[in-house]
Structure 1
């Protein structure tokens, strides 16, 4: 017997969605909670501290992934795979 867990719940008229959990929160509230967690981690001394080299490498990798850097097309050439 299948049962909808949200049956009877006020979920704004959206079928099959939940108003529970971090992802369903207002973005401002999410930032407040995440910020508090970051401050707590720093107070406890367990937060990650980025070195200049680590930050540079992470930025390089992010740029490659988001902008297609380092990807090669079928001819072995660098650049976008999109048709022009």
Structure 2
């Protein structure tokens, strides 16, 4: 016999929004102070946009072929 218990949120889902925001803020400040935070250059952003657009276009063609 399987006894089911109430499912309760775990981890971040169990925390208040204020506590989650506090943890996220600490992570952002730490990465900035360590110099490991990433900031996009215009060239990187352009390359990422082109990559995403190409993937989207390929998916549209594949989906159209199925119809």
TM-score bucket of the superposed structures, by smaller chain: 0.5 to 0.7
Q: Which structure is richer in relative contact order (CA contacts within 8 A, separation 6 or more)?
A: 2
Q: CA RMSD in A?
A: 3.3
User: What TM-score does the superposition give when structure 1 sets the normalisation length?
Assistant: 0.46
The question of 1:38 aligning with 2:13 is answered no
Count of residues in correspondence between the two structures: 62
User: What TM-score does the superposition give when structure 2 sets the normalisation length?
Assistant: 0.52
After TM superposition, the structure 1 = structure 2 runs for residues 42-53 of structure 1, keeping only pairs within 5 Å, are 42-53=32-43
Residues 58, 26 of structure 1: alpha-carbon distance in 2 compared, 3 angstrom cutoff: farther
| Structure 1 portions without partners, runs of 5+ | 8-14, 74-79
